[in-house]
Structure formats: C-alpha cells, structure tokens
Amino acid sequence: MKTPVPALRRILCIGGGPAGLYFALLMKRRDPALTVTVVERNRPFDTFGWGVVLSDQTLGNLREADPESAALIGEAFNHWDDIEVFFKGGRVRSGGHGFCGIGRKKLLNILQERCLALGVNLVFETDVTDDQALAAQYEADLVIASDGLNSRIRTRYADTFQPDIDTRQCRFVWLGTKKTFDAFTFAFVQTEHGWFQAHAYKFDGETSTFIVETPEEVWKAHGIDQMSQEDGVAFCEKLFAPYLDGHALISNASHLRGSAIWIRFPRVICHTWVRWQDIAGRRTPIVLMGDAAHTAHFSIGSGTKLALEDAIDLADEFSRHANADVAEVLQGYEARRSVEVLKIQNAARNSTEWFENVDRYTGMEVEQFAYSLLTRSQRISHENLRLRDAKWLEGYEAWLQTQAQPGVPVKKHPTPPMLLPLTVRGLTLKNRIVVSPMAQYSAVDGVVGDYHLVHLGARAMGGAALVMVEMTSPTPEGRITPGCPGLWNDEQQAGLKRIVDFVHGHSSAKIGLQLGHSGAKGSTQLGWEQIDEPLPSGNWPLLSASAVPYGEQNQVPRAMTRADMDAMTAAFVASTQRAAEAGFDWLELHAAHGYLLSSFITPLTNQRTDEYGGSLANRCRYPLEVFTAMRAAWPADRPFSVRISAHDWAPGGNTPDDAVEIARLFKAAGCDLIDVSSGQTTRAAKPVYGRMYQTPFADRVRNEAGILTMAVGAITEADHANSIIAAGRADLCAVARPHLADPAWTLHEAAKLQTRAIEWPRPYESGRDQLYREIARQQALNAPAP
C-alpha cells in the first residue's frame, strides 16, 4: 500500500546522479500523486566514469526498497567473491567478500528508465546556477541537493552546511581496460621514487575499472604532472603491464587536458545537511544528499552505496512518519543518517590512510601485507574473515604461528594470534594480552595491601600474559592522589614484592610495574570523588616542565630547575632498583597523559626557553635522561617499555607524526616497546573515540619507527586483539575495563576461541591452571564445568 506524504506535493532533485534519481523514483513509487522533477546538467543517458562497486548487503537494501530496479541492476551486475593481492612477487587470494560491479553509465540508465516508467520528470542539459530560481519555477516543497562532489548548493550555503573538506595525499586516475579481472585485484609496484597501487575489478562482460593511485610526491617525482593525458596513461600501462596481459588502459575523460585526470580525493563532511530557505514566499527545505553531503574514499567502494542508502533512508522516513511535519521528518533523517555515514567515513579514513602510507607496510611479507590490507578499515575483523574464507584464514594463522614459533609444528588448528607467545629480551610472554595498569586509589601512604593482592593476583590467574601494576611514584609528591602507590621506601617495596611473589607462585603470568610522576596533575582527589580536581585540603606542591597548570582550578606547578631534574632522576633510579629487587619482570616508564615527563614532551605544557624546550628533540631531552639512567639500573635481560601520548588531540599539540619521532628517540636509547596511548595532556583535548580508536597510532609507531608496540584503548573483544596482532598493528594488546569487569577475561575469551581447537595453546604449571584449562575445554564443548 502506497503511503501519501501530507504537505509535500512537489519535489525537486538538483543533480541526476544515483542519489537524486533513486530518491526521485522511491518517492514517486511511494506516492504517485507527487510531482517529482530531476534536473541534470549532462545529456540524457550520458555519464563519465567506469564501474562502481556495491556490496551484497547494499543489493539487499535495493531489493527491499524497489524490487523492480533492483532486479535490473542485479541482472547487469558482475558478482565476485575473491580479493587478490599482488605484492613483491607474491600473491594472496581469499574469498567470500561478496562484491558486485556495474558500469556507472549502466546504473544511471537503469535508474533513469525506472524514473520515466514511474512518471518522474527528467530534465537534462540544464546547468543550475540558481537553485532558488529553479525551486520557485517548479514550486518545490522540498529541494534535494544531489549535485555531487563539487556541489554549488553546498558552497552557496556554506554558512549553514559548514563543510569540512580534507583533500587527501594521493593522486589517482580512473581508467578502464578490456582485461577482465575475476577478482577484486590490488597490485602494488615499486619504482625508484616510491609505490604505485592499482585497484581493479570487472564491471561488465568485457570491461574492468582500473584505478591507479600513488602519493603526490611520487607522482611529481615521475613527472606525471607535466605529462599529457596520453603519456600519463601510457606510463601506467607500462608500469602495470604484468597484470594487464597485453591489454591497454583507456581513459574516457577526453574533456580534460594533461594531468587534470589525476585528482586528489576530497573527503567531505558537513556539519548539517538541511537548510531552510524562503523561496517565493514559502519556507522550503534544501537537503544535501550523496556526495554533496559526504564522501567516502573509493578504496572501500562506498560512495554510490552511501548515495543510494541516503535516498532509501529519507524516503523511508517520510513513509514511517506520514503524518509528521516535514521539518520533523528531516530532523530525524539527519540525526540518524549522519551517524551511519560517519561510521562509514571513519572506516574510509582508515582505509585511505592505509593506501596513502603503503610504504609503512612494505617490510611485511605478502601474507601479512594482504591481511593488513583486508582489515585496513577496522570494519572487517579476524572472525569476520573466518566467516568469509575459513580455509584461507586458518592457513594464515598457521603461517603466523610459524613466524612466532619457528620450528614448532602447527597442529590441526593453529594458535589464535592473541595466544601466540612473544619473547622480549630474556622474557617470554605466554600470549599477547596485558592487563593494563589501572589506578585503584587504594594504597595507604603509598603502600599496596590486600586489596591490590586480590586485584592483581586474580587477574594474573585469569589468563593474561602480563599484569601491570598501576602508575607508581618514586616520590611522595609524585602521586596522583593520596590513594596512589609509591616506591620510595622499604615498606612499599615489601608490599609490592608480596604481590610479585604471589603472581609468580600461583600463575604463569608475568608482572610489570609502571613508574611515573604525576607532575601538574598531582595532589588531586580519588577517582570516585572529583577526578583531576585538587584536594579540598592538604595539597602538596607540584613540579612540571613549566609553570602551566592542568586547568584553571588546579594549582600552578613550579617549573623544574636543573637541581630538581637531578634529584628526580635519582629518585626514578632508586625506584627502578627497588622494582628489580622486588622481582618485577617488566618495567614501564610513564611519559604520557600530561604527567611530569609528558609535560616536557608536549608543547602545550613545555614553555621552556633552555635546552629542554623548543624543538621535539629538546622537549624529549629530560625524559630520555631519566629513561637512560633507569635502563642502566634495570637488569639487561628484562624488558623496559615507555608509555607515550601519541596525539594530544588539541591544536598546537603533538600529533602522530611526532609520536613516531618520539618512539625513534626512545628506541635509540634502548627502549624495547612503546605503549601507545593518547590524550589527557590538556583539558582542551577533544579525542575522537571509537572501537580500537588508538590502535592506528600503535600501528604507525610500530611500522614506521620499527619498534614493538602495545595497543590500548577500547579493545574489548578477543576478535579485536586477534585482528590487531595478526595485522601487525601492535605486538601486545592492553585491555583495561573488560579485566575490571571480569578478572578472567583472557581465559574466557580464549575458551571461546578454543571452540575450534579445544587444546589450550601451552602447558600449564599448576593444578589451578589445569582446572582453568578444563573449564575452558568444557566451555568450548558447551558442557557443564566440573
């Protein structure tokens, strides 16, 4: 049954791309009484571009929205399941990915014909320079601005839409070829100036899209910016000849000259999508749709998907709220749809950055390189790959296990990536899961007690390879709160040694200590009171790189003198020696989150004019002095890591580029691993949160600085950890809140993984561990635990 749309009689769509055409036909289909007009600047049935890609899921959405056009689109689609990756002479092919390719022209032709069949008024060869005049001409009650990437309407009303346009780093050219690829193909070619990559897929029986992409600097180094269009295409044809089997590359952009066919992708985000405008005496909504409102990089093939699903969503919104005011309908549409689009754009951003930085991953073997490519957006996870192609993934897991455990035979079911061992210096961790250091605010005069024994002991028995004690101060004034632990006297050392001995005696886990000084963030209330707020009374004096308070309500710290630095370094060294005597397996220096050493590293709090301020190297000078002194006091066979804030999330602060340089400096000083966190260096920080949101920083540091990393931040599932480890984004995963809720989180997640293997991945050393092994085995079999 068709649902009428009250108070909406005439719709004008400016732009005849997928968004405008599809919205027009859906609205006309839902209410034939509507007058719907689409105005397009090009000629009828004329378009530029080659093929577009849609997923099986999007095809399902089309079938539900309009079965008639979906059937025609389905008949024209070329479907494939496989992705094939060519890299450094190697080849990886995996299946189950479910893509469909169709010529852009063919897709538009189908939508145009469907519009005509439903009675939509199509107006071609009309270049709209004044949307208001056109809306008045057609007496429109609703204007859809579907005028594409370079939307004039978005530009005209920029004050309302507030577009954020980020032009990305790579140049790419959209070509075609008569070579028909039977898989979505990625080919990577190295030249003397850098890497080029091709994205190729078949979209009809005899033609494939062939996109060539490379960083701007590589493009210019080859002189392509000075080439004619023909010479540029010939360059690509020669470069990718091994994958073209003698076929030519073709351009259909004859309207462009020279290197103008090579463009940089503009990522478009708009603050709002709806503007209300007085037109011919009526208050008329102008709504952005498709590329006019947002873009998603072609590497995840979602531009057309987003356009079509925008149209579906808004048409459905009108149907669901037939009696609602148009303003309410549009408000609901924008609120819901903008969130869905942002999810895709976040994934697209990750994918874009992966292709912009291919060189970052070229040290990998083709097996891991392909896995990293497949999971680059963080939308596709380890277990999602298993659903797509279990045989291929199990083969990759087996390969990964041989890299982690050379000479150890791979059993029928390979060890999941998060359960692979890792050896750092003289220490071997049984798996890749770390209980992140989490402040408990339960120490008395810096001394840990029974609470900490239970807290840390339970988590050590819960399956994690490494349990980290919360940030512990080398001085009384270095504590964050009165409830934070310290390590400056014998009683504190004895309390910590008690826990270390328990962990070593009752589990196969290792235990580490994080040493740090609170700096300007010290002398604050307990975490369950008013976090980061000064104590009501009894505040102690603070030190920092400069006299910059953490916030207006926090006390102003004293800028450290040379004598202060010497004394503080000595205190850190003394605590390091005590940690070694207590038997800790791992030591970490906290140089993140705005604490003392972090205050030197970030320019937001370091305002010094001496040799410890200014350049990044100078700002890192004192933290490196402390680290070097501690490393010399720490046993050579035990690992030593450093936690850094990889991004200050605030204007003028450190960025991930800086994080790579910071990591290189600590690596040169003898650091074994960088614990990659971010933010908390200023109250002005505005982090972009999300699932595994800090993992890309760990990825960059690991693969650019060439040092082991620990990923942390919103890692909540074994699937997350498996994906991170398998892709080479980090070597360890620090898991915090899930371990608070479930001390045996690692064990329980491992039990789920053992549904495939049953066998626990390593022998255990105590009867308690054997009991947990049996529990895990029974859980895997869905049988009652003993």
List residues bridging with 215 in a β-sheet: 170
- Of 113, 14, 18, residue with least CA distance to 304: 18
255-277 per-residue burial string, b: 16 or more CB within 10 A, e: under 16: eeeebebbbebebbbbeebbbeb
Rounded Cα–Cα distance for residues 730 and 733 (Å): 7
Q: Token pair for residue 337?
A: 């749809």
142: three-class secondary structure by DSSP? strand
Rounded Cα–Cα distance for residues 606 and 662 (Å): 15
Whether the CB-CB separation of 514 and 520 falls below 8 Å is answered with no
List residues bridging with 428 in a β-sheet: 423
Rounded Cα–Cα distance for residues 97 and 57 (Å): 11
How far is residue 140 from each of residues 285, 323, 597, measured CA to CA in Å? 9, 19, 62
Inter-residue long-range contacts of 528-532, CB under 8 Å, 24+ positions, other chains counted: 528/441
How far is residue 538 from each of residues 59, 397, 445, 482, 555, measured CA to CA in Å? 65, 56, 14, 10, 12
Strand ranges of the sheet holding 274-279, from the earlier edge strand across to the other edge: 121-123, 35-39, 10-14, 142-145, 282-288, 274-279
Chain center to CA of 70: 33
- The string of DSSP letters for 451-485 reads HHHHHHHHHHTTT-SEEEEEEEBSSGGG-SSTTS-
- Of 227, 170, 228, 177, residue with least CA distance to 195: 170
Chain center to CA of 786: 41
Cβ atoms within 10 Å, residue 471: 25
Rounded Cα–Cα distance for residues 551 and 542 (Å): 13
- Of 523, 532, 430, residue with least CA distance to 479: 523
Query: Which residue of the set 243, 333, 595, 612 is catalytic?
Result: 595
Rounded Cα–Cα distance for residues 522 and 534 (Å): 8
Rounded Cα–Cα distance for residues 422 and 430 (Å): 7
Question: What stretches of 256-399 adopt beta strand conformation (E)?
Answer: 263-270, 274-279, 282-288
Rounded Cα–Cα distance for residues 419 and 21 (Å): 51
Is 595 among the catalytic positions?
yes
Q: Which residues are catalytic?
A: 595
